[in-house]
Amino acid sequence: MSEKISLAAGVAERRSPVSQKAQKFTESVIREMTRLAIEHNAVNLAQGFPDFAAPEEVKEAAVAAIRADINQYEITWGAREFRRAVAERFHRDTGLEIDPEREMTVCCGATETMIASLLAIIDPGDEVVVFEPFYENYGPDAIICGATTRHVRLHPPDWTIDAQELAAAFTDRTRAIILNTPNNPTGKVFTLAELELIAEQCRRAGAYAITDEIYQFLVYDGFRHVSLVTLPGMRERTITINAMSKTYSVTGWRVGYAIAPPEVTNAVRKMHDFLTVGAAAPLQQAGATALRLPESYYQQLCVNYQTRRDRMLVGLEQAGFRCFRPHGAYYIMTDISAFGFHNDVEFARYLVREIGVGVVPGSSFYRDPASGAQQVRFAYCKKDATLDEALRRLEKLKR
């Protein structure tokens, strides 16, 4: 009896205080860099949130919604008016008619939308294909679902995909591929030919595509954003994810959505209900106003971002970075080999402490840190004054 007790106590001692899944997570490097930027009073070009104002009419709509007492739980899968506005916008952008009653779920940002979507379709042991370099959430998302990730390289300088490498990543366990276009961190906008290759693999493997299209409106140089769902045979196997965060400069509002076939939507809604119940009711109301902004809003947004990108490309090259020219989103991946640092983390820490600019070390976008050891990412979703100050500080690198 006493031996049994001491054995049990021994087992209890050996057990980690946190779950195996939690042990697999590392702290987000992006958030660490933000913390260091605050500590050193650096210009933070690490995290991708705008430091300029959201559109006036969108803010007013949120205030009006709160004043009108839209302050209680909404329908768990999203406010009807917001879903209607999303369906209208989706029709304008893709030509597809979707039923907002049966094919849409509103969640708390693209982040929760992605995890609810994965939980809806993934069983432990399934495989998920992810392009590398990747947005840092997809790995932990897969861990939460018990899935294994398989990676397909985007090859610099243009971040091209190799058809054979893509085909090799699909196995009989592949359940889904995650596609982020326009892409974070590379700024790549996948071409129609590349989307066709991806669609072909999905159809062949009977796999889902989960597309993260949060930078949909930020596309430059004559490139065009194409939603994978519009390709033949993809409507029934695509979960299209988007959010208000980047398009309306409201990353703190946490309103996102998934568009998916009815059966999948049912499952996404269940996951979402038990994860968060619902996204903020008044902000969904304001979202309906935002999604119905005139086309000129989207054109101007894009022009403004392209101007920021061009200013940053010139400034960064002058400071000694080699830039991988992005055609979309609001990041610039750079090559730092000219500075002679041992690795990206060392360089990023030097930048934040000595130069006063926060960036994200490239290794945080790769499984093997060596792959990103000579890269760092700049976010340029900032006011002109912020970017100018960052570039002024970076000039010190030349001395």
Ligand X SMILES: Cc1ncc(COP(=O)(O)O)c(C=O)c1O
Q: Work out how close the CB of 135 gets to ligand X at its nearest, in angstroms, rounded to a whole number.
A: 4
Q: Work out how close the CB of 213 gets to ligand X at its nearest, in angstroms, rounded to a whole number.
A: 9
From the list 78, 133, 139, 256, which residue makes contact with ligand X (rule: CB under 6 A)? 256
**Residues 12, 32: Cα–Cα separation, whole Å:** 32
Q: With CB under 6 A as the contact rule, which of the stretches 35-43, 105-113, 144-152, 288-296 interacts with ligand X?
A: 105-113
Q: Which of 94, 89, 113, 119 shows the shortest CA–CA distance to 256?
A: 113
Name the helix (H) or strand (E) containing 93.
helix 80-94
Q: With CB under 6 A as the contact rule, which of the stretches 5-13, 108-116, 350-358, 360-368 interacts with ligand X?
A: 108-116
From the list 243, 260, 291, 319, which residue makes contact with ligand X (rule: CB under 6 A)? 243
Residues 44-63 that bind ligand X (CB under 6 A): 48
- By DSSP bridging, strand 174-180 and strand 127-132 are parallel
Q: With CB under 6 A as the contact rule, which of the stretches 31-39, 103-111, 279-287, 388-396 interacts with ligand X?
A: 103-111
- Per the CB < 8 A criterion, the answer to whether 373 and 348 are in contact is no
Other beta carbons within 10 angstroms of residue 168's beta carbon come to 11
**Which tokens belong to 149?**
């990730």
DSSP state of 12: H
Could you tell me where the DSSP H helices lie in 243-351? 262-276, 281-291, 295-319, 344-350
From the list 211, 245, 247, 334, which residue makes contact with ligand X (rule: CB under 6 A)? 245
Q: By beta-carbon distance, which residue lies closest to ligand X? A: 109
Closest to ligand X by CB, 130 or 397: 130
From the list 212, 220, 375, 378, which residue makes contact with ligand X (rule: CB under 6 A)? 212
From the list 33, 106, 116, 214, which residue makes contact with ligand X (rule: CB under 6 A)? 214
**Which tokens belong to 49?**
């949130």
Contact flag: residue 249 with ligand X (CB under 6 A): no
Contact flag: residue 111 with ligand X (CB under 6 A): yes
Transcribe 147-163 into DSSP letters.
-EEEEEEPBTTTTB--H
Show Cβ contacts of residue 376 under 8 Å, excluding neighbours closer than 6 positions: 333, 334, 336, 344, 347, 348, 351, 359, 360, 361, 362
Per-residue string for binding with ligand X, 325-364, x by CB under 6 A? ----------------------------------------
Residue type, 82: F
Q: Which residues are at the interface with ligand X (CB under 6 A)?
A: 48, 109-111, 135, 180, 184, 212, 214, 243, 245, 251, 256
